[in-house]
């Protein structure tokens, strides 16, 4: 009976993975390379104008009737098949978002998939927007000179290749330079892409190592390498909050998140909120500039907000960057609750593949009976739970300190 069930799951798993193969969110939302050049030229000519990028839905997306037929074959009474059904539903909704590129519906689909800035991660936690504003308010008073970005893209790529060969000795991911990346880096299971033409600091490279390689590459490979449930390696919107929350936590635990990075992710949450309230691409670009970004970095940050392709007020807003802060809150709360309740196995299981915090609980039986194997690659910090618990506990206390009530004169009297 168990063997027949496993074979049934394998068949459905393969079909779900096949259905997701052509559903590529970030690639579908990539702006043409000339958009940045034209925009910056208009700024420097004194006539700044919104890029006005026009994107179209990708070709050859899976057909709804085929996905509906697959969904009808899934038995929701089986926890693993139910998870496959949830994954398939996420594929269907992601396709609907991609089909709406260039329309007002894109923003609404984006919000449904990634959430709103005002959403709370879990009971007892602030919203992503409230957290972002708190980070910005506190860091505004902390003036620290960032490290120099004095490494070229080629030097950065060489450093990253050396590091990934150390952590993935048998099959290191390729490190490639790619123009027009919205972020400084992006990672899949087989390659890490760095933005061509960008300069990097040592701290930024260490951030990317812990964020991209030791979280995103690791979870993607751990999932794809599963003997039964390879759909755990799929990169889909429903797992993005947990993925980016893990990656942001990795930066904090490894001492590689600097103030500039923290402010950037917080600024993006506020910018998404403003865009939903009617701010245009130009409004957001100016907001990033006023917050200290260069013309180029302000463009890339505003681009991330309007990746749907329309810089007009309310058009093409892409909500993904909300999850960097909201996901961090969710993962922190999940890990502390797991350790408190004696479930010390749960944080490590987040690295088994591309999972949500809820998936780790819902698939408990599959973990226990070996259907899902433990992660092959995971960073040291998630295995040292006593240290992780201390870090998260103190971090929660520190965020309650009111810097406006603290002066150095106070300490001189003690």
Residues 6+ apart with CB under 8 A from 191: 173, 174, 175, 176
How confident is the model at residue 312, as a pLDDT? Answer: 63
| Tens of pLDDT, residues 132-159 | 998 998 888 787 677 778 889 999 999 9
Total of domains in the chain: 1
How confident is the model at residue 94, as a pLDDT? Answer: 98
How confident is the model at residue 319, as a pLDDT? Answer: 95
How confident is the model at residue 3, as a pLDDT? Answer: 87
How confident is the model at residue 141, as a pLDDT? Answer: 77
How confident is the model at residue 316, as a pLDDT? Answer: 87
How confident is the model at residue 102, as a pLDDT? Answer: 85
Q: Is residue 188 part of a domain?
A: yes
Nearest-angstrom CA–CA distance, 376 and 142: 39
Nearest-angstrom CA–CA distance, 247 and 76: 31
Nearest to 398 by CA among 135, 145, 211: 135
**Residue 69 belongs to domain spanning:** 2-405
Nearest to 261 by CA among 177, 174, 328: 328
Q: Is residue 411 part of a domain?
A: no
How confident is the model at residue 226, as a pLDDT? Answer: 97
Q: Is residue 395 part of a domain?
A: yes
Nearest-angstrom CA–CA distance, 254 and 197: 27
Residue 239, φ and ψ in degrees, nearest 5 = -100, 0
Positions of the chain with pLDDT under 70: 1, 144, 310-315, 396-414
Residue 177, φ and ψ in degrees, nearest 5 = -95, 135
How confident is the model at residue 254, as a pLDDT? Answer: 93
Contact between 258 and 203 (Cβ < 8 Å): yes
Nearest-angstrom CA–CA distance, 281 and 274: 10
Neighbours of 395 (CB within 10 A): 14
How confident is the model at residue 364, as a pLDDT? Answer: 95
Query: pTM, whole model, 2 decimals?
Result: 0.89
Q: How far apart are the first and last CA of the chain?
A: 71
Residue 192, φ and ψ in degrees, nearest 5 = -120, 125
Contact between 213 and 163 (Cβ < 8 Å): yes
| Tens of pLDDT, residues 212-236 | 999 999 999 999 999 999 999 999 9
Q: Is the dihedral of CA 309, 313, 314, 318 positive or negative?
A: positive
């Amino acid at each position: 009976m168990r063997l027949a069930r496993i074979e049934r799951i394998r068949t459905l798993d393969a079909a779900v993975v096949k259905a997701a193969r052509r559903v590529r969110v970030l690639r579908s939302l990539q702006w043409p390379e000339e958009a940045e050049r034209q925009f910056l030229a208009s700024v420097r000519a004194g006539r700044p104008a919104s890029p006005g990028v026009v994107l179209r839905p990708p070709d050859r997306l899976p057909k709804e009737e085929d996905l509906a037929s697959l969904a009808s074959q899934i038995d929701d009474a089986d926890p693993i098949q139910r998870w496959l059904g949830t994954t398939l539903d996420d594929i269907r909704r992601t396709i609907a978002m991609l089909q709406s590129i260039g329309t007002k519906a894109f923003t609404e689909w984006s919000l449904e998939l990634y959430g709103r800035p005002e959403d709370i991660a879990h009971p007892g936690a602030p919203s992503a927007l409230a957290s972002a504003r708190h980070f910005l308010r506190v860091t505004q008073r902390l003036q620290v000179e960032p490290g120099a970005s004095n490494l070229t893209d080629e030097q950065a790529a060489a450093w990253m290749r050396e590091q990934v060969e150390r952590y993935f000795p048998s099959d290191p991911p390729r490190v490639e330079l790619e123009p027009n990346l919205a972020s400084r880096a992006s990672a899949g299971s087989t390659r890490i892409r760095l933005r061509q033409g960008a300069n990097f600091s040592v701290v930024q490279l260490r951030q990317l190592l812990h964020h991209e390689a030791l979280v995103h590459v690791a979870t993607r490979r751990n999932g794809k390498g599963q003997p039964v449930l390879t759909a755990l390696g799929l990169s889909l919107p429903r797992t993005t909050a947990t993925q980016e929350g893990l990656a942001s936590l990795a930066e904090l635990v490894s001492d590689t998140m600097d103030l500039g990075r923290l402010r950037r992710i917080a600024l993006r949450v506020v910018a998404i909120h403003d865009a939903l309230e009617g701010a245009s691409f130009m409004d957001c670009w100016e907001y990033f500039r006023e917050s200290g970004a260069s013309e180029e970095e302000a463009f890339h940050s505003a681009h991330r907000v309007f990746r749907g392709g329309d810089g007009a007020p309310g058009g093409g807003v892409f909500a993904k960057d909300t999850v960097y802060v909201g996901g961090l809150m969710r993962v922190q709360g999940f890990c502390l609750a797991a350790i408190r309740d004696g479930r010390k196995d749960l944080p490590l299981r987040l690295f088994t593949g591309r999972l949500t915090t809820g998936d780790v609980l819902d698939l408990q039986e599959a973990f226990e009976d070996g259907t899902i194997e433990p992660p092959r690659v995971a960073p040291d910090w998630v295995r040292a739970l006593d240290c992780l618990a201390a870090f998260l506990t103190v971090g929660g206390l520190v965020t309650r300190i009111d810097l406006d009530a603290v002066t150095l004169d106070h300490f001189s009297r003690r």
